[in-house]
Amino acid sequence: MTETTRTTVTLNKSYMKLIQELVDVFGATRAQVISNIVEYFFNDSKNDPLLKKLRARKRKDKPPEKSDLDNKIQNYLKRSDKIPFEVFLDHLNLDSEFVIKHLNEWGEKYGFMLIDNKIIKNK
């Protein structure tokens, strides 16, 4: 059985009417209908670009603590001399604009350069 968590959802009346219309078709209760809609949304790969944008916006609005970021960068650079920029972004879980803004500072601090879309450690 899947582990679940309860939450309360507040929708305006027009959405609740739509939810009610789907009871018995998309779930036995309004809660099941809403749950099924959410699962359907997250499982549909057509929504991946939107989810990616939303995650990037969150990372941009709430970057990690400076000390956590320093530790992640140092640890990652210990393991590799050449890191594709996209992999670096994913590892740090940051927005590309944020990373590009700090790239020169970090490059000097941690001894790397961005060459051909790769983070390359200075020797």
The arithmetic mean of pLDDT across residues 82-108, rounded, is: 89
Q: Residue 4 domain-assigned?
A: no
Identify any residues that bridge with 32 across adjacent strands, giving them in sequence order. none
The arithmetic mean of pLDDT across residues 16-25, rounded, is: 95
- Which two tokens mark 29? 């209760």
Q: Residue 70 domain-assigned?
A: yes
pLDDT-derived band at 118 (thresholds 50, 70, 90) equals very high
Do residues 114 and 87 share a domain?
yes
Q: DSSP class of residue 63?
A: P
Cβ-based burial of 112 (10 A; exposed 0-12, middle 13-18, buried ≥19): buried
Do residues 52 and 66 share a domain?
no
pLDDT of 91 strictly over 70: yes
Do residues 28 and 42 share a domain?
yes
Q: Residue 6 domain-assigned?
A: no
The arithmetic mean of pLDDT across residues 3-19, rounded, is: 91
Number of structural domains (the chain) is 2
Do residues 101 and 73 share a domain?
yes
pLDDT-derived band at 14 (thresholds 50, 70, 90) equals very high
The arithmetic mean of pLDDT across residues 53-81, rounded, is: 84
Structural domain range at position 51: 13-57
Phi, psi of 7 (to 5 degrees): -150, 165
Q: Residue 5 domain-assigned?
A: no
Between CA 3 and CA 28 the distance in angstroms is 19
pLDDT of residue 61: 77
